[in-house]
Amino acid sequence: MTDTTRRLNLNVGINTTGYLGAAWTHRRDGTRQDVYDPAYYLRIARLAHRGVFDALFLSDMPLLRPEPGSRPLHTLDPLILLTSLAAQVPDIGLVATVSSTYNSPYNLARRAQSLDILSGGRLVLNIVSNFVPEVAANFGNDPLPPREIRYPRADEFLQVAKKLWASWDPRRDGDIDPGQFWGPDSAHPIEHDGDYFAVRGALNVPRGPQGHPVIAQAGASDWGLDLAAKHGEIIYCNILSRAAGQSFRQKVNERAVRFGRDPSTIKLVPGLVAIIGESREEALRKHELFSGAGSEDGLLARFAREHGIDPADFDPDAPLDGEDFIPDGDRIQAVGMGRGWAELLTHERLTARQAVRRAEGNHRLVLGTAEEVADQIIDLWADGTVDGYTYQPPRAPDDIEEFVDKVVPILQDRGVYPRAYEGRTVRDRYGLPYPD
């Protein structure tokens, strides 16, 4: 592949035991509590590097819910863990989820630019505005700020961060006196004084190899779409079908143009759960086990429960109405995640029995043999609905290994995915521009 060929981008989620709640009880080596063992993550990162993944993706929430039957999905701090992995595994990018609600722009911009420099230009920052009251309780007595404050604050946070990332650039100096470390153009205060932040600057970390880290965004509410269109370069969204993806892309692109951005600089890499079997039937069975539902009936019961459907009225073989699945905008939840179901069921007439095999954790689910999984991945990429995927392994590390051994070679043979790392930074590999 040459630089000008469009190619599939793939990230891989590396949160603790994997994406599906009960999958960790089916690990082949029987190990269970190694998710805070450095060797566990190093093994996963090396697997991912063998699979030529563009980036390791760590979602995050600064919260522990030690409920019976649950497991921790977020533990070691993402920027710290990814810094450690970057020092041990070359090439691969690093997506760190960080909260704009509970960080200060100066400190976070500094940590991020430090890692971008140390990793040689491999950092992607996935900025989230936290929406869970239990998270708020770890950061003071104030109630969770409402969405109409969280999103403008996140926007200003990123504006400040970008000013800081550009505030010290030794290249501006040109030739300087050998007895001087820097000249008068090297660094300037940013003197930001906005609605939420006042920051003088300059940042004490210079411009990095990517100009600044790539910005990822996940929101799909109106607020989230605006933030994605203003700042997002990689969009981690939930797109369950072609129609939904095209409609999402159109919405983001329209807003991006309104904000003066070129929509081709925005890449969609929605979440994807892939379950691979020797046959489709084996994959279906693994789905039932790894999800914790145990059986197809269990999946249907969970679907009814999660969507507030009365079991007495529930016909799993009756077509569903998308209208019933539009999330309530005032609910304290991640709006984008709920909206995926509505989009799917509006554009495709599905029964519950069909629908439960189309999504896990609100992300697109693809099931079948390695060939069938590869086909489904390529399908929405080939016509540009998506630019790639963020693969969420149901069970780590086993399913990452299986994906790398079985699906990646097919994608490579089809000529849509690289056989080795090309370019130097995440910007190079995603075809993203460098900031001025």
Residues that bind its own copies in the complex, under the rule CB under 8 A: 17, 24-25, 32-33, 36, 38, 61-64, 66, 68-72, 74-77, 79-81, 83-88, 102-104, 106-107, 110-111, 114-115, 117-118, 120, 134, 137-141, 168, 170, 178-182, 184, 186-187, 193, 197-206
Integer angstrom CA distances of residue 271 from 11, 140, 241, 311, 433: 9, 32, 12, 29, 23
Name which of 32 and 419 has its Cβ closer to its own copies. Answer: 32
Q: CB of 309 within 8 A of CB of 345?
A: no
Q: How far is the CB of 233 from its own copies (least distance, A)?
A: 22
Extract long-range pairs of 261-264: CB within 8 Å, 24+ residues apart: 261/229, 261/230
CB 288 within 8 A of CB 295: yes
Measuring CA to CA, which residue among 113, 114, 9, 83 is closest to residue 423?
A: 9
Exposed, middle or buried, 264 (CB in 10 Å: 0-12/13-18/19+)? exposed
By beta-carbon proximity to its own copies, the closer residue of 46 and 353 is: 46
**Cis peptide preceding 397, ω within 30 of 0:** yes
Instruction: Give the phi and the psi of residue 391 in degrees, each rounded to 5.
Output: -70, 125
Choice between 87 and 382, CB closer to its own copies: 87
- Residue with smaller CB distance to its own copies, 33 or 279: 33
For residues 71 and 339, which CB has a smaller minimum distance to its own copies in the complex? 71
Strands 271-276 and 363-368: parallel
> Whole-number minimum distance, CB 51 to its own copies, in Å?
21
For residue 97, what is the DSSP state?
Answer: E
DSSP state of 351: B
Please report how close the Cβ of residue 168 comes to its own copies at its closest, in angstroms.
6
Pairing of strands 192-193, 198-199: antiparallel
Please confirm whether the linkage preceding 202 is cis (ω < 30° from 0).
yes
| Nearest-approach distance from CB 83 to its own copies, in angstroms | 4
Supply the minimum distance, in Å, between the C-beta of residue 167 and its own copies. Answer: 8
Q: 138 or 250: whose CB is closer to its own copies?
A: 138
Q: How far is the CB of 118 from its own copies (least distance, A)?
A: 5
Sorted by sequence, the CB contacts under 8 Å of residue 28 that are 6+ apart come out as 398
Q: Indicate the residue among 106 and 389 with the shorter CB distance to its own copies.
A: 106
In the complex, minimum distance from the CB of residue 36 to its own copies, in angstroms, rounded to a whole number: 6
| CA 376 remoteness from chain centre | 20
Q: Compute the least distance from the CB of residue 60 to its own copies, in Å.
A: 9
* Rg of the Cα atoms in the chain: 22
- Give the three-state DSSP class for 71: coil
CB closer to its own copies out of 178 and 308? 178
